[in-house]
Amino acid sequence: MADTTYSTDTARTAQGSAAQTVRDRTDAGSLEDLRISPAAHLADEMAQASAAGGRAVALRELPFAVQLGARAEPDSASGRVLEDAFGLPLPRRVGEVTGDSAGLHILWLSPDEFLAVDVSRRQQPGETLVAEAGLEGLPGQAVDLSANRTILELSGGRAREVLEKSCRADLHPRAFGIGTAIVTQLGPVPVILHHSSEETYRVYPRASFADYLVRWLLDGMAEFLGDGADGATGADRGVTAERTG
């Protein structure tokens, strides 16, 4: 029988080779180049559907955006520390979002729980160091959750109709206006849903649900893909038909 034991020298050689491999890969490209987002394998499908949807509907992933979980009571010492660290006030009520949806903003999740998001840049190590230092000795928390969820951006004149097929919340603008974010579900998947601009919605599923939810949304988009450049809503189409009928 062949000897399958390994000497200390052999183990060290193997470890050295593995370390050298890591160094070689790092030299060839930064660790950033090695990151793979939860929905990266479906990028082509999303791009094809978006091209077919034109102005009607489009779907893409916003990978590796900064997402920082924060826990503190607003108006407390801890809350003020977080506001100083983020440079933004904490939201005070359900659905409220403070800041710039194109950059850093904070979503209300519960009376003492918030999610700070920055879609203008990718997450880097040490995102919470300032907040953590300020919270030293105080009740509260700042945690980097950037790998916890990914962000899917659904846009176009038919985007709301796609979401309404499976969302339990009322998404009419009178109830879910621009700048509102809620915790809800799309089909069976728990998500955070942010109405970030007039015809754009950001959906935050857990990373493990990304594949399922992208396919779910693509299926919901299917009937609108033939609309091409026509992004009119159903109400707009009804008015047009009445005028031309």
The Cα–Cα gap between 173 and 202 comes to 15
Alpha-carbon 89 to chain mean position: 21
Give per-residue pLDDT as tens, 61-112: 999 999 999 999 999 999 999 999 999 999 999 999 999 999 999 999 999 9
Percent helix / strand / coil, the chain, rounded to 5: 40, 25, 35
Alpha-carbon 90 to chain mean position: 19
Instruction: List CB contacts of 64: < 8 A, sequence separation 6 or more.
Output: 35, 37, 122, 123, 146
Q: Give the model's pLDDT for residue 144.
A: 97
The Cα–Cα gap between 10 and 122 comes to 40
**Cα Rg of the chain (Å, integer):** 23
**Mean pLDDT value across residues 126-137:** 95
> Contact 68/126 with Cβ under 8 angstroms?
no
Give per-residue pLDDT as tens, 9-56: 434 444 454 445 445 444 435 767 788 999 999 999 999 999 999 999
Beta pairing partners, 98: 106
Position of tokens 């700042």? 142
The 8-class DSSP code of residue 90 comes to: P
Position of tokens 């998947």? 189
Confidence of residue 128 (pLDDT cuts 50, 70, 90): very high
**CA 14 vs CA 1, 5, 192: distances in Å:** 23, 13, 45
What are the E-state strand segments in 31-179?
Answer: 58-62, 65-71, 97-99, 104-110, 113-122, 141-144, 151-155
Burial tier of 208 (Cβ tally within 10 Å: 0-12, 13-18, 19+)? exposed
The Cα–Cα gap between 46 and 61 comes to 9
Give per-residue pLDDT as tens, 144-186: 999 999 999 999 999 999 999 999 999 999 999 999 999 999 9
Q: What pTM, to 2 d.p., does this model score?
A: 0.81
The Cα–Cα gap between 188 and 62 comes to 22
